[in-house]
């Protein structure tokens, strides 16, 4: 999905295997996870722009973050920049709620992002081989700890929104499952990359635990 509107004009249909290969390569190259204070980020920005031009591939919102840092002197840490960005983009659809899970295993409170998918889905979504039903509203729950959202979980949440169609395509092929996604819980305190797809109760007999992207 294109949470950042400028991505609509950039992203193109890429086969699932090629897309996941691009993601894997960029995760090894990314500046996300580092504080870039005092670094030159020009080469990385150029590399990300070439990926956009050559493949129609956008990696997270790394380029936007690095441009904001270089040109506007904004946050040199991606997760903190992303927190500000998501609060700007989803301001009226972010809630802090009491979670109904057992507090021995789950956070007592979560930040709940309610994302209206209309207008955000890829224009080429119908070309992707996805065996599932897109929700009109995607709900994502992220731990709220010590009066703040958990930043590692927030980064995963953005990745899931950003690559929602590709991740569902990968999962539906990998699991051979017909899904109707209702919400996503990114609540594992041991591993933010372990998350759960909660499916709509109509005809779905299980929810789906996922680690990483499939």
For the chain, how many structural domains are there in total? 1
Residue 82 pLDDT greater than 90, yes or no: yes
pLDDT tens-digit readout, 41-54: 999 999 999 999 99
Q: Tell me if residue 158 falls in helix, strand or coil.
A: helix
- What digits encode the pLDDT tens for the residues 111-149? 999 999 999 999 998 888 887 778 899 999 999 999 999
Domain with 110 in it:
5-211
**What pTM value is reported for the model?**
0.93
- Considering just the CA atoms, what is the radius of gyration of the chain in Å? 17
Percent of the chain with pLDDT over 90: 73
Alpha helices in the chain (DSSP H): 16-29, 42-55, 62-72, 78-89, 151-162, 164-175
Q: What is the pLDDT of residue 203?
A: 47
């Amino acid at each position: 999905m294109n949470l950042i509107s400028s991505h609509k004009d950039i992203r193109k249909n890429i086969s699932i295997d090629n897309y996941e290969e691009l993601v894997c390569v960029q995760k090894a190259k990314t500046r996300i996870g580092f504080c870039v204070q005092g670094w030159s980020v020009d080469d990385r920005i150029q590399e990300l722009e070439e990926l956009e031009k050559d493949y129609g591939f956008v990696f997270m919102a790394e380029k936007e973050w690095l441009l904001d840092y270089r040109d506007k002197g904004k946050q040199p840490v991606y997760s903190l920049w992303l927190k500000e960005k998501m609060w700007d983009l989803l301001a009226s659809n972010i809630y802090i709620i009491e979670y109904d899970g057992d507090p021995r295993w789950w956070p007592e409170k979560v930040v709940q992002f309610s994302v209206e998918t209309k207008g955000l889905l890829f224009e080429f979504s119908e070309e992707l081989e996805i065996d599932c039903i897109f929700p009109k509203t995607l709900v994502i729950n992220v731990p709220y700890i010590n009066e703040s959202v958990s930043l590692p979980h927030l980064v995963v949440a953005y990745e899931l929104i950003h690559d929602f169609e590709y991740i569902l395509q990968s999962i539906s092929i990998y699991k051979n499952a017909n899904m109707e996604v209702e919400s996503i819980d990114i609540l594992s305190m041991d591993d933010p990359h372990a998350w759960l797809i909660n499916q709509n109760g109509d005809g779905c007999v299980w929810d789906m635990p996922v680690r990483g992207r499939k």
